[in-house]
Amino acid sequence: DNWRRVGMHVLARATPHPVAMSSGCETPSHRVFVYGTLKRGFYNHRLLREMDAKFLGEALTREPMRMVLGEYGIPYLMRGESDRSAVVPGELWEVDDEGLDALDVLEGIDEGMYERVTLDVATREGDGVDGATTAQAFVCGPESERRGIGTTWSEEIAAYDLKTHEASYVPKHERAAGSLGTESLGRRRS
């Protein structure tokens, strides 16, 4: 079907601008594309459940991106070209301002673990969202890049699935002090 036949050779455009949608007196909402541990059935999905985020549907990056598996089994989208890049599957969610702030903390934005950018994504027809839209997404941040994420030691993966997750993911509270993303647990780098 057409869902599976999306082009696969150019890096997705990423810009650091938030996307807010609002109608009338409602709280502003943000579309967020998740491709890793925040997806349904994965370890960090509980955060989306707790914030009453709204599932909008399955989604794909509109243009190919390289995804790698970093330290502790953490998936990262990379902003670099790769001959083997492919569109990345994930999910599209809607969160409010508070929810977006909570995701920024989880993703270690202040530490440079991830950077939040705007990506073009495609959804399946009938999921309640037009086939093409923009969404916030978390890509490899500058500190992760400095620590070697995306280099030859990072395994390139086509999708972050449950098999990969269960075999490799280490929750933050089990990681070594000083690991990226652990500052929100009160464990500072030394």
Query: What type of residue is 65?
Result: M
Q: Closest Cα partner for 113 from 18, 179, 172?
A: 179
> Helix (H) and strand (E) counts for the chain?
4, 8
Each residue of 57-72: b (16+ CB within 10 Å) or e?
A: ebbbbbbbbbbbbbbb
In order of 19, 34, 81, 88, 94, the CA distances from 75 in angstroms are: 23, 11, 17, 11, 21
CB 50 within 8 A of CB 44: no
Q: Which residues are catalytic?
A: 107
Q: Who's near 23: CB < 8 A, 6+ residues apart? A: none
3-state secondary structure of 97: helix
**11/184 Cα distance (integer angstroms):** 31
